[in-house]
A and B are shown apart, each in its own frame.
Chain A
């Protein structure tokens, strides 16, 4: 088959009636634009989720008071009975636990010599930093001795540090948290936004301090539970099955709380990485739905292309007859019309990509999300458009190729 003559004839037909070509391409343009927007949104969400998982760690279990059910949402919200430090110690004795920390947190007003800042104060054990894989960028972590001794020291998150000490140089300075003076000994590396979706809070807006000191001097004790903590975080050893760890943790906690078989847990063991993965799966479903919509508009566009190609074949029957009379084979004619359909769709695809790009850019601006236009997305969008041309152009092209030369020549 002769490619040169087929392509040039196709291109010529395309530009001889630009308005019609453009209208025909409309479905393809919309389809490709939506393929692009939805793919880049999906990919952006995926990247964000992956970043969150790696920032939290997929082998951290969190014990929370209150029940947990229905799609992984915490309906107890921490309203249940808090845990005790004895629980923290018991959990730490589970064989698979590499590190454990109790956490007691509250909003508190922090004051430095320069500024005033409301932040989230977290009382924690010394393992807090290891469990959360959250290291100091400056200064040092507090030690087990400091926790046991109730030392008035604090490690600041990046945001808190920046707000309390706009000039920098926070290490060694004094702050007061709800009037309790503490010495700043470290500044944590940045963790950024956490959770996404509903949780979107700034993890760096925090002050971490020894657990007992925070309870005694800031939050105060609990009437039912002595030496209480509001949650427990455990780091599961590498290579140990997290699900199994979750089950064993649940079993131990039920035992400690004397929950009878058949009775519901009044606490929850959560793996946040799993929750994020579930959310990722939901996002994937959403993105599939969008993909389906895009596919439908591509198909509608394809039918439009097929329709116009059939009209074009009919209009140009005499031309086809003439080409056959001077020696074009059926295959040459097939190729010519197939190229025309593919060119039509690919051009529509390019325009659609331009519009999709604008859409992605706008979305990135509005949603403050990273702009994700990978080569894969571009290839997929263009490939989809060209395939539509190939599939929906084939029938009209074959009809043209099968025309009888003399009947085509006599056509008027």
Chain B
């Protein structure tokens, strides 16, 4: 592990206002994740896990606080800069796979390569390589409808890997999968982590979290516990 964090959050807050009501989805979170870590984020429903993930993923902007990816402050980046960051540095895996239904596996994996500003090299070769990496080399021309849930999630992972991201973000990637498939996906994640990709994963299941090298528990928009800092007591509740 290197010392310099690849993801860094300071006093990060996300507040949703719905009419009179204020929901503090994230409430002053400080968090550092070093390059090469495999972090599982856990916590009850509504504790702010997805909110954090969306901020780290440069999909959303915080209400308060600052965050850095790779040393760069996201608040200083334009919409296009953020799009490029998502394209080059981050890879997303969603619970609902989010594949384009009208395109086959191969085309789905090619998509981030086609949006790349940098020279992505041989796009077709790279897409093929990624699909082979997730064990779907023989299913390239299958549409999402023609694939099982586990296979669809593999396609989604292949897509996330296409531009060789340094960070893989997965929000409940196994939430829609059975136990056996879950284990397969988690092994894949572990392999990717061993190859140097930083993985941040949200899960409700302790078996899934066990694959990670670090577990962080959330409650009411705050970090309740962090296995990397077991001694650090954080106030809980408000």
Contacts and interface: CB of A to CB of B under 8 A. Distances in A.
A93 B114 CA distance: 84
A326 B54 contact: no
A327 B87 contact: yes
Given A322-B100, A327-B83, A5 B114 contact: yes
B112 interface: yes
Interface string B213-237: 0000000000000000000000000
A279 interface: no
Contacts, number: 62
B230 to A, nearest CB: 33
A322 B111 CA distance: 10
Contacts of B103: 12
A330 B112 CA distance: 14
B80 A326 contact: no
Given A329-B84, A330-B83, A323 B98 contact: no
A2 interface: yes
Contact of A409 (B59, B88, B111, B114): B59
Most buried by B among A319, A329, A332: A329
Nearest to B80: A329
A324 interface: yes
Given A330-B83, A331-B80, A16 B115 contact: no
A325 B115 contact: no
A354 interface: no
B54 A328 contact: no
B154 interface: no
Given A2-B115, A4-B114, A323-B111, A328 B98 contact: no
A406 interface: yes
A5 B110 CA distance: 10
Contact of B60 (A326, A328, A329, A406): A406
A406 B112 contact: no
B38 interface: no
Contact of A327 (B54, B100, B116): B116
Contacts of B88: 327
Contact of B115 (A323, A404, A406): A323
A140 B115 CA distance: 80
Contacts of B160: 326
Contacts of B54: 406
Contacts of A4: 114
Q: Give chain A's interface residue range (CB within 8 Å of chain B).
A: 20 to 34
Interface string B80-123: 10011011100010100010101100000001101110000000
Nearest to B98: A322
B79 interface: yes
Contacts of B86: 324-327
Contacts of A318: 98
A282 B92 CA distance: 66
Contact of A330 (B60, B80, B100): B80
A326 B79 contact: no
Interface in A285-336: 318-319, 322-332
A327 B162 CA distance: 12
A343 B103 CA distance: 20
A327 B84 contact: yes
A299 to B, nearest CB: 31
A330 B83 CA distance: 8
Contacts of B84: 327, 329
Given A332-B115, A406-B54, A324 B102 contact: no
B114 A2 contact: yes
A405 interface: yes
Contacts of B198: none
B152 interface: no
Nearest to A407: B60
A316 to B, nearest CB: 10
Nearest to B163: A327
Interface in A317-374: 318-319, 322-332
Most buried by B among A5, A322, A331: A322
B83 A328 contact: yes
A406 B88 CA distance: 18
21 contacts: A5-B111, A12-B102, A12-B103, A16-B102, A319-B100, A322-B98, A323-B111, A324-B86, A325-B57, A325-B59, A325-B86, A325-B98, A326-B111, A326-B112, A326-B115, A326-B159, A327-B116, A328-B83, A329-B79, A330-B80, A331-B80
Given A325-B57, A325-B92, 10 more contacts: A4-B114, A12-B103, A319-B100, A323-B115, A326-B92, A326-B115, A327-B83, A327-B86, A329-B115, A404-B60
Interface of A: 2, 4-5, 12, 16, 318-319, 322-332, 404-406, 409
Interface of B: 54, 57, 59-60, 79-80, 83-84, 86-88, 92, 94, 98, 100, 102-103, 111-112, 114-116, 159-160, 163
3 A-B pairs with the lowest CB-CB distances in the bound complex, closest first: A327-B87, A5-B114, A326-B112
